[in-house]
Amino acid sequence: MQAVPEGANLGLGCGNPVALASLRDGEVVLDLGSGAGFDCFLAAAKVGENGRVIGVDMTPEMVEKARGNAKKNDYRNVEFRLGEIENLPVADSAIDAVISNCVINLAPDKKRVFEEVYRVLRPGGRVMISDIVLLRPLPDFIMNSIAAYVGCVSGAVMKDDYMDIIRKAGFRDARVIKETSFPMECMANDPTAQAIVRNLDMPQEEIVKLVEGAICSVNVQAIKPEKRTRRGDLRRNS
């Protein structure tokens, strides 16, 4: 198994969707918000030489870095594309599994994201993602903070709303398979959170109390329904 390239893990995720995705040899996998390529390289080892992994990121610098990591470490079954997750540069019904690690919460139009995910998945394909959601509303001063948005906080929506968006996009069996309260020490040590503290006339301890228990990391899975024949039988569109 190839080692994950040094510098590919930027430490920005909230989970490990690859470990949950049950990826199989020969599958085609799409990673939303692939960054420097860490999850893509993990996925590449699971799908093998007969499979393929596509990473999509909206930042040219990240795409360039990821491509450099792939070339330097001879990952021939991985490619990186510049694009937005609301408008994926991927053909219809081309993907077996979609993964994402703490990225969709940053997208302003999550409905559009999951519609795009549905479009690119093959019938019977699956989505397995990690993300940040809310268990209760956050104070307005956090939600309205640009700094918090960059830090993956105010872009999050209520958990029930998040799951409802997935179901309305057409997915079935959408469910949370793991839920973890967001550790407050992460916020206390995060440079973005520190910027919020500096910009507000409140002690950090008070801010933590207001936020504690409201933020949650979830692992979510869902399936795109398989097509039906005229007789109503399920069939795989291969």
% pLDDT > 90, the chain: 58
* Token digits of residue 98: 């979609």
Higher-pLDDT residue of 21 and 12 is 21
Greater confidence (215 vs 27) lies with 27
For residue 77, what pLDDT band results from cuts at 50, 70 and 90? very high
Pairing of strands 215-223, 172-181: antiparallel
Q: Which of 57-66, 137-146, 218-227 shows the lowest mean pLDDT across its residues?
A: 137-146
d(CA 42, CA 140) in angstroms, rounded, equals 38
Identify whether the C-beta of residue 6 lies closer than 8 Å to the C-beta of residue 70.
Answer: no
Question: Quick check: 238 pLDDT over 80?
Answer: no
Between 220 and 212, residue with greater pLDDT: 220
- Tell which wins on pLDDT, 86 or 228: 86
- Contacts (Cβ under 8 Å, ≥6 apart) of 176: 159, 163, 218, 219, 220
CB 30, CB 66: distance < 8 Å: no
Q: Are strands 52-57 and 28-32 parallel, antiparallel or unpaired?
A: parallel
pLDDT confidence of residue 15: 64
Alpha-carbon gap, residue 18 to 31, rounded angstroms:
9
CA distance 182 to 219: 13
Contact of 233 with 121, CB cutoff 8 Å: no
Residue 64 neighbours by CB under 8 Å, 6+ apart:
none
Under 8 Å between Cβ of 99 and 129: yes
The phi-psi region of residue 226 (left if phi > 0; otherwise alpha if psi is between -120 and 50; otherwise beta) is beta
What is the per-residue pLDDT for 181? 81
Q: Grade residue 152 by pLDDT with cuts at 50, 70 and 90.
A: low
Residues 154, 145 contacting (CB under 8 angstroms): yes
State pLDDT tens for residues 55-67.
Answer: 999 999 999 999 9
pLDDT(103) > 60 = yes
* Angle, CA of 217, 168 and 12, to the nearest 5°: 25
Confidence bin at 232 (pLDDT 50/70/90): very low
Q: What is the pLDDT of residues 110-124, one digit of tens each?
A: 999 999 999 999 999
Mean pLDDT to the nearest integer, 25-40: 95
Q: Mean pLDDT across the stretch 42-59?
A: 95
CB 30, CB 56: distance < 8 Å: yes
Q: What residue spans define the domains of the chain?
A: 17-133+156-181+217-224
- The predicted structure's pLDDT at residue 192: 58
What pLDDT does 185 receive?
Answer: 59
- The predicted pLDDT at position 234 comes to 41
Q: What is the pTM assigned to this prediction?
A: 0.82
Superfamily of domain 17-133+156-181+217-224: Vaccinia Virus protein VP39 (3.40.50.150)
Tell me: pLDDT of 8 over 60: no
Average pLDDT of span 31-45: 93
The CA distance from 42 to 62, in Å, is 17
